[in-house]
Structure 1
Amino acid sequence: MNSNISEIEKNGSKNQSTEEQFPKLSIATYVWASILLFAIIVVMLNYIASRHYKRFDLTKEKYYTLSPKTINIIRNLSANIDITVFMSMTSNLIGDVKEILSRYKSFSPKIKVEYVDPDIDSARFELLQKKYGIRSGTLPDGREISEQVIVVSAGDRVKFITPGDMTEYDFGEDPYASSPTLKKFKAEEQITSAILSITEKEQTHICFTKGHGEWEIEKADKKGIGHIEEILKRDNFKVDSFSLQEKPKIPAACKLLVVAGLERPFSEKDASKIEIYVREGGNLLLFLDPVIDSGKFIPLGLEKVLAMGGIETKNAIVVENDESRLLPVSGVGMETFVTSDYGEHQITKPIEGIPSLFRIAIPLNSFNKEGVSAVALVKTSEKSWGETDLEKAGSGETPEKSQEDIPGPIVLGYAVQTQVSEETKMQKEDKENGEKGKDEEEKDKKKEKEARGRIVVFGDSDMLSQELFSQLTLANQELVVDSIAWLTERQSLISIPPKNPENVRLNLTNSQMNTILFWIFINMPAIVIACGIIIWWRRRK
């Protein structure tokens, strides 16, 4: 019996030692498995992050967020774009430029960015200077730089962007202030424009009329719209102006004809040239004004042209009586107002909720016409009206609505799409019959069938002034530029307002960034692993 008891005790001690060893092995396995699992999770998260890249803009004004138009352009790039930034790492712009360009790269693998610091990599800087033709502080186009420039290139086509192109500073009362305030940041506007310029093969030709008191595209004074020419050229448009009296017909090369206001009516001969141009599929942009002689409204001379799009003007001045739309400025009357009451159209979709300012506008109206589609772009409030009494409108006193006036809301702009007339198509076919083979005739018929003219008309031209274009709180620039984009069928045309630099940011040096990265990716994982090893070692003992 004693021998049996001792045998049981012996077996029990063996089982106990086995049980003691088993948990120890399980703990060790658990620790190493946890470390391995943690490493796998880290690798998987990094892999997923690399495949699904997402950045967040936490600034109040979305300072670094790219506009939908820019995103559309860079997502549809057909060529590789190289962006070389010649800028010192101590520059006050380098942080903003890096952040903006990182967002360009995130939307397209075709964009490659290189940073060259002239202070650090002087050899590389000199090499690229020779490649792009940058002579010690002077660009090929003659602009001066202080070794800071962004070069955007695609093959042999190159575009330069200087810090002056991207920024606008406020010097206050001292024009020589050493530390001016950054007023506008236009990097996205300039970079996207540069990409457009070097990737589009042909320039779209826009023609402006003159000779009737129109705003002059070549000037930058009170009656000049040189700022619009600058915007259009920046977006790779070819801009020209001419008098219709000097041309037998409007050149076919003109993709868009613009009448930017008028002080004198168009002659019947000049108006007929515009009619023919539209009938043949030309696009037309009109900014109209009331034409007054001897205290009376007189015809603009463009009535037949407007009728082609089912549009007519009214002899009145638009007056707004909604106090929320009037300007709180002394001396500004009810004929100057803002409105954000837009219609549903491609032109107005990007500016929903942003007001545009109009001044001394004339009412527009539409009527049914076969083959014509007209959409109201912008209108006034129900409290507005069209003042038909010029004497009352110009008296300087607050006008009162009468029975003769036109009730609101009043439409200030229309977008029209018209089919090319059958008569014009038949004339072209008759003219070309016998001169071409059947295949060519079929192609021409198909082309004429698909061709259509587009018209945008506004009852105001003061909306073009540089004063209104420069107002960040107004959508005048976007309304005009988006109209041109729709008329020329270039939806990629950019209308990107400058960013307001008023935001709160945490500026870190490279050393501070490296310290943060070291703690996140090295120290913290190392501490977790060390804790796991210590726990395992203590339990093992």
Structure 2
Amino acid sequence: QPVNLRMADQEESTQKLIYPFAIFRLGSKQVVVKLLENDSPGLNPEQVINNSVSLLEYKFANAMKKIQAPSKPVILYTKGHGELSDLQLADLDRSLRIFYDTDRISLDSVIQIKPEDCALMIIAKPTSTFSEKDKFKIDQYIMQGGSVLWLIDRLNASLDSMRLTGRFIPSDYPLNIEDLLFKYGVRIQPDLVLDLECSSIKLVVGQVGNAPQFDLFPWYYHPAVLPNGKHPIVKNLDRIDLHFCSSIDTIRTKTPVKKTAILTSSKRSRLQFSPIDLNFDILKYPADPEKFDKGMQTVGVLLEGVFPSGFENRVSEEMQNGLNQLGMQFRSSSVPARMMVISDGDVAANYIRDAEQKQWLPLGYNHMENVTYANKELMLNAIEYLIDPNGVIEARSREVKLRLLDTVSAKANANLWRVLNVGLPLLLLALFGWLYTWLRKRRYQ
């Protein structure tokens, strides 16, 4: 998509369509790199350019590394627990397939999962129960150094559930993974985060003839999270569109685990605890900012370090005998591993326009607001970091500061600088010529 570049001076203004992209080619492989970041509310054009320049090193290094890679790492999505469908993950999967091999895995169909066979496991919005066997396979995969991206909804809240009657009381999803996450150092609370900085939804406000009339309303249950950290996963990212997310508490673990809050709501947030009566009555009156007083709530956490097993002291003699017969060794603690937990499964889901025709919109695009959020960039950055934290993604954390001109002062003194730039060199040249001639005359007198 071209960008309209406007150039103006005191005499004239011109506009040009430019394509701020670079293309890397190697044999039959091709990688397109976007050079200019999207405009963000509150940022002037100079700041957008500064952010774009800061990311150039990472983007170029990342493209060159991946286009030269002899093989692709494998990413596996779990299935069998009501996870997001292939169509809901279509845009993310299409983006990943450029650099990774992706597939679905049913945990009950394998004996074990090894990190050398699976660089990353994605558990995207499960809605049904994980068996103890499935949990054990995930646990031992992590103990061997495997990486997991957890995209977990604690409550089964959604707009679709509310549209029929205008209200809905969400319940907990019976996932049976709370004990695992607690052991690893996090707890997703049975609550919903409301944020004054949120995206909007369309509701019918009237009818003209046979055509319903819609209007946009801020929907506080959909926080538009603006990452403000310096971590390479989120540095310079635009807002993330989250739906019915819950707060996340970090828990002290018996092993050293570094916990980094990657996503947080704004300072104007509040919580509603289950059971919650979701209804549209909240939109009838203007929001009272004084009630949004709970401060920033963590909704995304990165965990790195040595994790204790969720099955420590829980392996029976019969279970151990079975492991021995399969030639498997139980690990009570992990080698250094990584995982990320986000309390919203829909963060990775693209909107489905037509399920029968398999038509979907890009990940992050909000069809109600006609705005694109940075959900896809967040997912791609998180996946890249979880697979290779010491790779080129570290370049995202480097700062490049451009010394921006004071445009007002520059325009006001433009004529002075023109005279100096043209006249001063001529004056110095004339002075040098006169001095040279004078010295020669003096030498031969």
Which band: TM-score by shorter chain?
Answer: 0.5 to 0.7
Change (3 A) 1:302 1:150: closer
Output the CA distance in 1 between the equivalents of 2:365 and 2:68. 27
Matched, 1:370 2:254: yes
Aligned equivalents of 1:190, 1:414: Cα separation in 2? 24
Higher helix share: 1
1:386 aligns with 2:271: yes
1:488 corresponds to which residue? 387
Structure 2 residue corresponding to 1:335, chosen from 178, 203, 221: 221
Aligned with 2:364 (options 468, 476, 480): 468
CA contact (8 A) 2:74 2:119 kept: yes
Seen in structure 2, the aligned counterparts of structure 1 residues 328 and 261 have a Cα distance that, compared at 3 Å, is closer
2:145 aligned with 1:284, yes or no?
no
Relative distance call for 1:246 and 1:369 in structure 2 (3 A) is same
Which residue is equivalent to 2:198? 326
Asked whether 1:302 is paired with 2:171, we answer: no
Which amino acid in 1 is paired with 2:110? K
Q: Quick check: 1:227 aligned with 2:99? A: no
User: Which amino acid counterpart does residue 477 of structure 1 have in structure 2?
Assistant: K
Are 1:159 and 2:24 matched, yes or no?
A: no
Can you list the C-alpha shifts for 1:352-405, whole angstroms capped at 9, x where unaligned?
7x432211112211111121422222222343223124542245535999xxx9
CA 239–396 in structure 1, closer or farther in 2 if over 3 Å, else same: farther
Shift of 1:306: 0.6
Paired AA for residue 215 in structure 1:
L
1:279, 1:150 → 2: CA distance? 38
Query: What SS does the aligned partner of 2:199 have?
Result: coil
Distance 1:476 1:292, change over 3 A: closer
Q: Distance in 2 between matches of 1:462 and 1:313?
A: 16
Letter in 2 for 1:257: M
The TM-score normalised by the length of structure 2 is: 0.57
Q: 1:536–1:415: structure 2 CA closer, same or farther, 3 Å change rule?
A: same
Distance 2:264 2:24 in 1: 42
Corresponding residue of 1:11 = none
Matched, 1:212 2:81: yes
CA distance in 2, matches of 1:396, 1:189: 46
Q: Relative contact order (alpha carbons < 8 A, sep ≥ 6): 1 or 2 greater?
A: 2
* Corresponding residue of 1:242: 105
Contact conserved, 1:333 with 1:396, CA < 8 A, in 2? no
Q: Would the aligned equivalents of 1:256 and 1:283 in 2 still touch at CA under 8 Å?
A: yes
Alpha-carbon distance in 2 for matches of 1:483, 1:385: 27
User: 2: CA distance between counterparts of 1:203 and 1:461?
Assistant: 26
Q: Is the 8 A contact 1:262 1:291 kept in 2?
A: no
Inter-partner Cα distance in structure 2 for 1:474 and 1:297:
28
Change (3 A) 1:250 1:528: farther
* Structure 2 Cα separation of the partners of residues 167 and 343 of structure 1: 22
Rounded to whole Å, the distance in 2 between the matches of 1:233 and 1:531 is: 71
Cα distance 1:167–1:377, how it changes in 2: closer, same or farther (>3 A)? closer
Secondary structure, counterpart of 1:351 in structure 2: coil
1:203 is the counterpart of 2:72: yes
Deviation at 1:478, TM superposition (A): 3.2
* Contact 1:318–1:363, Cα closer than 8 Å, also in 2: yes
More strand by share: 2
In structure 1, C-alpha distance between the alignment counterparts of 2:72 and 2:437, rounded to whole Å: 70
The answer to whether the Cα contact below 8 Å between 1:386 and 1:406 also exists between their aligned partners in 2 is: no
Superposition pairs of residues 381-460 of structure 1, within 5 angstroms? 381-398=266-283, 407-419=294-306, 451-460=335-344
Matched residue type, 2:298? V
Whole-angstrom CA distance in 2 between matches of 1:456 and 1:307: 13
Offset, 1:209: 0.8
TM-score, length of structure 1 as denominator length = 0.48
The alpha-carbon distance between structure 1 residues 255 and 289, as it changes in their structure 2 partners (threshold 3 A), is same
Cα deviation for residue 342 of structure 1 reads 4.3
Letter matched to residue 159 of structure 1? K
Question: Which amino acid in 1 is paired with 2:375?
Answer: N
Give distance in 1, aligned partners of 2:274 and 2:280: 10
Alpha-carbon distance, 1:413 to partner = 0.9
1:258 and 2:122 correspond: yes
> Would you say the 8 A contact 2:75–2:101 is kept in 1?
yes
Per-residue Cα deviation, 1:101-149 (whole angstroms, up to 9, x for no partner): xxxxxxxxxxxxxxxxxxxxxxxxxxxxxxxxxxxxxxxxxxxxxxxx8
- Report Cα offsets for 1:62-109 as digits up to 9, x if no partner: xxxxxxxxxxxxxxxxxxxxxxxxxxxxxx979x67xx6xxxxxxxxx
**Structure 1 residues 385, 203: CA separation in 2 closer, same or farther (over 3 Å shift)?**
same
Any stretches of 5+ residues in structure 2 without a counterpart?
Answer: 8-16, 37-55, 158-168, 202-215, 313-319, 351-361, 397-428
Residues 207 and 254 in structure 1, CA contact (< 8 A), matched pair in contact too: yes
Q: Which has the larger radius of gyration?
A: 1
Query: How far apart, in 2, do the equivalents of 1:297 and 1:256 lie?
Result: 27
Alignment length, in residue pairs?
Answer: 333
Contact 1:379/1:411 (8 A) holds in 2:
yes
Specify the alignment match of 2:378 in structure 1: 479
Q: Which AA in structure 1 matches 2:376? A: Q
Letter in structure 1 aligned against 2:342: F
Amino acid aligned to 1:280: Q
Question: What is the match of residue 359 of structure 2?
Answer: none
1:360 matched to which residue of 2?
244
Residue type matched to 1:480 in 2?
M
* Distance (Å, rounded) in 2 between the aligned partners of 1:351 and 1:161: 22
**Structure 1 Cα separation of the partners of residues 73 and 274 of structure 2:** 43
Q: Percent identity?
A: 19
Asked whether the equivalents of residues 388 and 406 of structure 1 are also in contact (C-alpha less than 8 Å), the reply is: no
State how far apart, in whole Å, the 2-side matches of 1:276 and 1:406 are.
Answer: 41
